[in-house]
A and B are shown apart, each in its own frame.
Chain A
């Protein structure tokens, strides 16, 4: 068994879907098992941080790390696995760009604790007890990791060798990556293992001229099966999202919500999407444009940055919003003659 590689699979701030997506490669998992010993994977086997700590540096050949960094414990594991791994892969959207856990970057620890432990409808907590990092029980000090204000990506925490996008990554793309690793045919370190183009490129729908007067929510219309969804007023993120899923959602009549992250060469997926939509909105009147957007896109952050807020240029919301700092009258309407 000496020539077998050593594989680690770890999770941080994630949902567990990435582990399941690995199993979606079906019987090929046997090929993985033939090529690698899994030395660390708390999801499926009884392995502890201790086991990793005892390994000499660089022992693990490949570590597939899913999840963002929300707590000090996750940061510790990220640094530990970086030290012990030859190749560290940010596996899936959470590790690459924060994903849904990263959307909590619109708020902070105090507000999250308040919502979860105090004010949520199903909670009865009149004493407003919230988790502390330390407590004494029978003279022993027990501790919990620190919960950070801001979710960070794996790449913002430690150097990452490769990124595998998707929420979760599609099985064929996982297999492509495993083959690339096994055959040593990897791209330059730091790159995304995946397609260069956008979801639109893989989408079979008919495209004509895109001109919309209103964005519609998915429950408001039953879209026709053949025409581009964006042309029908559904906010499809295809033009700003990396290909790789074979346009899975548009193929079943549902708009792409952007889970493969920004396409190659783009850092800020939301900015890209705004640029794309600017050509689609059919109005030249600032007030009408404002209305089309506020009515059709009531949650712009959750729409433009559903998966990528933590890795966007701003990364999070302001801790103290401008509106709370000063009470001033608004300036003249956008685009008004100065």
Chain B
């Protein structure tokens, strides 16, 4: 039997003026693409605080896709340049924490580029299938935690008995 295919969970932060419309356009034009992105619409990619991305990853997402207007075309003048710089700092930080930049992608897509956006989503999904689940909470599990605590509790109880 074939092993069940891993379906990555991706959180998308899409700019209202371009990428969200691009995604909408892709839908209207019946472009087929992977259904793995849960899209959150923001007014501008500049609204994406790195903490949104970190929270998504910490809470179980396998990847995050940020999409905004092409550089120079942001409706809030130059916010997407800030996105570009934040993205660079964030991915360098994540790399140092062992999270590949394949999991956090930044793409530019104008409202007319539904097909390109759909292709970027497909590509990211394929990439994450190869990379596997992130499953961040597993990193916080302390293997011998329960046993260790039981042990020390027992020791202190025993010590109390002795002095009584």
CA distance A306 to B81 in the complex (A): 26
Interface assignment of B84: CB less than 8 Å from any CB of chain A = yes
B94-122 vs A: 1/0 string, CB under 8 Å? Answer: 01111111110111110000001101100
- Among B57, B102, B127, B152, the most chain A Cβ lie within 10 Å of the Cβ of B152
User: Per a CB cutoff under 8 Å, which of B58, B70, B84 touches A334?
Assistant: B84
Q: Establish whether residues B139 and A72, one from each chain, have CB atoms under 8 Å apart when the complex forms.
A: no
Given the interface contacts A275-B49, A320-B98, A335-B106, does A76 sit within 8 Å of B153 by beta carbon? Answer: yes
Interface assignment of B130: CB less than 8 Å from any CB of chain A = yes
Interface assignment of A43: CB less than 8 Å from any CB of chain B = no
Q: Establish whether residues B91 and A334, one from each chain, have CB atoms under 8 Å apart when the complex forms.
A: yes
CB closest chain-A residue, reference B138:
A319
A262-278 vs B: 1/0 string, CB under 8 Å? Answer: 00000110111011011
Given the interface contacts A322-B100, A338-B120, does A148 sit within 8 Å of B142 by beta carbon? Answer: yes
Within the complex, the shortest CB–CB distance from B77 to chain A, in Å, comes to 12
Q: Establish whether residues B160 and A318, one from each chain, have CB atoms under 8 Å apart when the complex forms.
A: no
Interface assignment of A201: CB less than 8 Å from any CB of chain B = no
Interface assignment of B31: CB less than 8 Å from any CB of chain A = no
Q: B123-144: which residues lie under 8 A (CB-CB) from chain A?
A: 123, 127, 130-132, 136, 138-140, 142-144
CA distance A336 to B159 in the complex (A): 64
CB closest chain-B residue, reference A108:
B139
Interface assignment of B3: CB less than 8 Å from any CB of chain A = no
Q: Establish whether residues A322 and B90, one from each chain, have CB atoms under 8 Å apart when the complex forms.
A: no
CA distance A337 to B101 in the complex (A): 16
CB closest chain-B residue, reference A272:
B51
On chain A, the residues within 8 Å of B91 by CB distance are 334
Q: A292-338: which residues lie under 8 A (CB-CB) from chain B?
A: 293-294, 297, 299-301, 304, 312-326, 328, 330-331, 334-335, 337-338
Q: Establish whether residues B108 and A337, one from each chain, have CB atoms under 8 Å apart when the complex forms.
A: yes
Q: Establish whether residues A314 and B97, one from each chain, have CB atoms under 8 Å apart when the complex forms.
A: yes
CB closest chain-A residue, reference B84:
A335
On chain A, the residues within 8 Å of B70 by CB distance are 337
Within the complex, the shortest CB–CB distance from B33 to chain A, in Å, comes to 13
Q: Establish whether residues A277 and B97, one from each chain, have CB atoms under 8 Å apart when the complex forms.
A: no
User: Per a CB cutoff under 8 Å, which of A145, A301, A315 touches B93?
Assistant: A301
CA distance A312 to B54 in the complex (A): 9
Interface assignment of B5: CB less than 8 Å from any CB of chain A = no
Q: Establish whether residues A318 and B89, one from each chain, have CB atoms under 8 Å apart when the complex forms.
A: no
Within the complex, the shortest CB–CB distance from A12 to chain B, in Å, comes to 14
Interface assignment of B55: CB less than 8 Å from any CB of chain A = yes
On chain A, the residues within 8 Å of B138 by CB distance are 319
Q: Establish whether residues B89 and A300, one from each chain, have CB atoms under 8 Å apart when the complex forms.
A: yes
Given the interface contacts A76-B152, A320-B98, A322-B100, does A331 sit within 8 Å of B105 by beta carbon? Answer: yes
On chain B, the residues within 8 Å of A283 by CB distance are 85
Given the interface contacts A286-B88, A313-B58, A318-B139, does A278 sit within 8 Å of B99 by beta carbon? Answer: no
Q: Establish whether residues A325 and B132, one from each chain, have CB atoms under 8 Å apart when the complex forms.
A: yes
Within the complex, the shortest CB–CB distance from B35 to chain A, in Å, comes to 19
Interface assignment of A150: CB less than 8 Å from any CB of chain B = yes
Known: A146-B144, A316-B139, A318-B97. 18 other contacts (CB 8 A): A76-B152, A145-B148, A148-B148, A150-B139, A268-B51, A290-B92, A297-B92, A315-B140, A319-B138, A324-B98, A325-B132, A326-B131, A334-B101, A334-B106, A335-B106, A335-B108, A337-B70, A338-B119
Q: Which residues of A contact B (CB under 8 A)?
A: 49-50, 53, 72-73, 75-76, 106, 133, 143, 145-146, 148-150, 267-268, 270-272, 274-275, 277-279, 281, 283-284, 286, 289-290, 293-294, 297, 299-301, 304, 312-326, 328, 330-331, 334-335, 337-338
